[in-house]
Amino acid sequence: MCNQIVTYIFVTSIDHNLMENEAIIIERTYNSPADRVWKAITDRDEMKQWYFDLEAFKPETGFEFQFYGGTPEKQYLHLCKVTEVVPGKKITYSWRYDGYPGISYVTFELFEEGDKTRIKLTHEGLESFPADVPDFARKNFVEGWTELIGTLLEEYVNPSKAAG
């Protein structure tokens, strides 16, 4: 019986660590066509309506962009570079912080489902950020992406959702 308890605690500990290293994946289905959602996630003027106010953005591999974001107490300069684009379907960019080690990758994928669009956001590599910076905790990214993808973007591409 003692071996089972030790094994259980050990497995739980491993599972917790694995969970911390897993990519964040958030999927939602919007009542909007894919081209509308694609424009919302790749057009700078549209992005500032629901995402971050970027000085410049182009959905082109190699394009670098930056923006400030964080908490009211501390803003971080985000340094990003587009690493992959499949027009109308997928965009990936690196995501790192000026003055801090680590690099992660954010991917938006779109899937047409009739007159609706399923979006899949994946953010991987969070474990590469300093563990001693509370703002870089995985739970903060989950909360942020859930708000952005689950509420703000959906309301932007489907205004009747915001009204209803």
Q: Are 57 and 64 in contact (CB under 8 A)?
A: no
Q: Which of 67, 83, 86, 72 is closest to 125 using CA atoms?
A: 83
What is d(CA 40, CA 33) in angstroms, rounded to the nearest whole number? 11
Query: What is the identity of the amino acid at 76?
Result: Y
Domains in the chain (CATH in brackets) are 24-163 (3.30.530.20)
Per residue in 34-83, pLDDT tens?
Answer: 999 999 999 999 999 999 999 999 999 999 999 999 988 999 999 999 99
The pTM is what?
A: 0.85
Residue 41 has a CB neighbour count (10 Å cut-off) of 21
